[in-house]
Chains A and B, each alone.
Chain A
Amino acid sequence: MSPETLRYTATHEWAGWQDGLVVVGITKFAVEQLTDIVYIDLPTPGRRVTAGEPFGEIESVKAVSDLYAPISGEVVDVNRSLVDDPTRISADPYGAGWMIKIRPDPGETLDRLLTLEQYQRQIAQAG
């Protein structure tokens, strides 16, 4: 997916529409901060997630972090290949590194998430 069309959370997840579902992953910046990812814990399809609440965990040599759902809904697809090879996340965070697909609750939109420009500004300020 193209970073320009995606929306972002302050906790470094990205979200983008694809065939009526919202695809979720973590940003290149997050991947660079983590480096050396060794483990990822993802939910099983069918699980409900709530915007702003953890849906999984990601662990690098340095630290372990929660993954936060950018939107509320039901998990309908999970990228299990990441569990066997978490390095795919760092290799291609916006493509092969996608994590889950969510069917959003009725009325949910990505509008309250950050745009790429807003997200980049946040990173610059934090850095």
Chain B
Amino acid sequence: MADKTALYPWHVEHGARMVEFAGWTMPIQYTTIVEEHHAVRTAAGIFDISHMGRLSIGGPDAFALLQKVFTNDVASMRSGQVRYGLICNEQGGVRDDVLVYRWQQGFAMVVNAGNRHKIYDWLLAHRAGMEVEILDRTLETCMVAVQGPRSAELCRHLTDAEVEELKYYFATTCNFRGAPCVVSRTGYTGEDGFEFIVNATRGIELWTELIARGALPCGLGARDTLRLEAAMPLYGHELTEEIDPFQAGLSWAVKLDKGDFIGREALLRRRDDPALPRRVGLQLSGRRIAREGYTVWQDGKQVGQVTSGTFAPTLQKSIAMAYVRPDCAVPGTPLVVDVRGHREPAQVVPLPFYKRPRQTPG
């Protein structure tokens, strides 16, 4: 029996197509993936992301525990700052990619839905001898993402937080109609935007208020095409227990000089291993989609495998992410993808595929 978010009744009532995802029943689309995708690129869309795991980590040794399990550095974070990083196993493979929030008192962590129990257990297992309290707040709260160039305008006076003043990858506690709320300037679409966490009982109220302000409800389908254009990795596809952050192109989220952490020793060895496949972007010549598991070829030899692909609605191109032999990972390299027996020409291109236009001041 899959879990349901607090917004589930709303989704069903409004004709969303529901699917099982990571143990949750989630909306994949309300209208069409392409329409929802364009709404986020040009205006604002909202996503029910309550399936994401929300952990709160407190106590005198919370800092030490995070430094031990997280590849990024928590020491340089200010209160209210949010940081992306990995949780690795001893072999340097990725157990999850997460966001860590630093508060005046303690920390919070947002983890992938499918890894929630795994990471919760991992934190418990590694806090031996430490004074840390870990609470899984997922079921009692609701998380809504507002994404798109109109996000700041839409979220003005939604809570008592000055959202326009909130810096990218910062968060603040605030108040939504009397209810405690957290808002962060984060997202998974490549656009400006905010993510709200409120008590589950207030979820529908927040959601419908955002719609009244002009946001379009978007499902997991558009979330996937948006993150793919922005070349953000998705756990279980670009990231697994066997792939390390360097292969994935996430070296910026690994601070080997911050002190010891789980996986560090293995990562020091793996960092410069010339044999490990690398994550690349592929652009296909035709309109066919290179889907997960399709093989990538050069000169009649298999050199890699696709991890995600789509027809990019903004770019109007067939794009994919793949892991390929390092000598084939240079942008410009011509490759071939086996699409159900058809040899489709592709080219390695720099990531991300899509970068939002810089806002000009004033």
User: Are A and B associated in one complex?
Assistant: yes
Which A residues form the contact surface with B (CB < 8 A)?
35-36, 38-39, 57, 59, 61-62, 64, 86
The docked-state distance in angstroms from the alpha carbon of A111 to that of B168 is 63
The docked-state distance in angstroms from the alpha carbon of A62 to that of B28 is 10
Check B310–A64 contact: CB distance below 8 A.
Answer: no
Check A36–B33 contact: CB distance below 8 A.
Answer: yes
The docked-state distance in angstroms from the alpha carbon of A64 to that of B294 is 13
| CB-CB under 8 A for A57 and B289, given A35-B32, A36-B34 | no
B221 lies within 8 A of chain A by Cβ: yes
Closest chain B residue, CB of each to CB of A66: B340
Closest chain A residue, CB of each to CB of B34: A36
What are the residues of chain A within 8 A of B221 when measuring CB–CB? Answer: 61-62
What are the residues of chain B within 8 A of A39 when measuring CB–CB? Answer: 286-289, 311
**Separation in Å of the A38 CB from the closest CB of chain B?**
4
Task: Name B304-322 residues within 8 Å CB distance of A.
Answer: 310-311, 313, 318
What are the residues of chain A within 8 A of B347 when measuring CB–CB? Answer: none
The docked-state distance in angstroms from the alpha carbon of A36 to that of B289 is 12
Given A39-B311, A59-B287, A61-B289, 6 more A-B residue pairs with CB atoms under 8 Å apart are A35-B32, A38-B318, A39-B286, A39-B287, A57-B340, A59-B288
Q: Which of A59, A61, A86 contacts B34 (CB 8 A)?
A: A61
9 interchain pairs (CB within 8 A)?
Answer: A35-B32, A38-B318, A39-B286, A39-B311, A57-B340, A59-B287, A59-B288, A59-B289, A61-B225
Interface size range of chain B in the complex: 10 to 19
The docked-state distance in angstroms from the alpha carbon of A64 to that of B289 is 8
**Separation in Å of the A48 CB from the closest CB of chain B?**
19
* Number of residue pairs spanning A and B whose beta carbons lie under 8 angstroms apart: 38
Closest chain A residue, CB of each to CB of B31: A35
Task: Name B278-296 residues within 8 Å CB distance of A.
Answer: 286-289, 291
Check A62–B33 contact: CB distance below 8 A.
Answer: yes
Q: Which of B33, B286, B288 contacts A61 (CB 8 A)?
A: B33
The docked-state distance in angstroms from the alpha carbon of A44 to that of B32 is 31
**Separation in Å of the A64 CB from the closest CB of chain B?**
7
Check B310–A61 contact: CB distance below 8 A.
Answer: yes
The docked-state distance in angstroms from the alpha carbon of A61 to that of B310 is 6
B29 lies within 8 A of chain A by Cβ: yes
Check B291–A38 contact: CB distance below 8 A.
Answer: no
The docked-state distance in angstroms from the alpha carbon of A61 to that of B229 is 13
The docked-state distance in angstroms from the alpha carbon of A61 to that of B308 is 12
Task: Name B17-68 residues within 8 Å CB distance of A.
Answer: 28-29, 32-34
What are the residues of chain A within 8 A of B28 when measuring CB–CB? Answer: 62
The docked-state distance in angstroms from the alpha carbon of A86 to that of B286 is 13
The docked-state distance in angstroms from the alpha carbon of A36 to that of B311 is 9
Q: Which 10 A-B pairs have the closest CB atoms?
A: A38-B311, A39-B287, A35-B32, A36-B34, A61-B33, A36-B33, A39-B288, A36-B32, A38-B287, A61-B311
The docked-state distance in angstroms from the alpha carbon of A45 to that of B287 is 22
**Separation in Å of the B242 CB from the closest CB of chain A?**
26
Check A64–B340 contact: CB distance below 8 A.
Answer: yes
**Separation in Å of the B282 CB from the closest CB of chain A?**
16
The docked-state distance in angstroms from the alpha carbon of A38 to that of B284 is 13
What are the residues of chain B within 8 A of A59 when measuring CB–CB? Answer: 287-289, 311
Closest chain B residue, CB of each to CB of A39: B287
What are the residues of chain B within 8 A of A35 when measuring CB–CB? Answer: 29, 32-34
The docked-state distance in angstroms from the alpha carbon of A51 to that of B263 is 56
What are the residues of chain A within 8 A of B32 when measuring CB–CB? Answer: 35-36
Check B289–A38 contact: CB distance below 8 A.
Answer: yes
The listed residue with most B CB atoms (<10 A of its CB), out of A35, A36, A57, A86, is: A36
The docked-state distance in angstroms from the alpha carbon of A36 to that of B17 is 14
The docked-state distance in angstroms from the alpha carbon of A69 to that of B310 is 27
Closest chain B residue, CB of each to CB of A57: B340
The docked-state distance in angstroms from the alpha carbon of A59 to that of B291 is 11
**Separation in Å of the A52 CB from the closest CB of chain B?**
19
What are the residues of chain A within 8 A of B291 when measuring CB–CB? Answer: 64
The docked-state distance in angstroms from the alpha carbon of A57 to that of B28 is 23
What are the residues of chain B within 8 A of A62 when measuring CB–CB? Answer: 28, 33, 221
The docked-state distance in angstroms from the alpha carbon of A63 to that of B122 is 35
What are the residues of chain B within 8 A of A36 when measuring CB–CB? Answer: 32-34, 311, 313
What are the residues of chain A within 8 A of B34 when measuring CB–CB? Answer: 35-36, 61
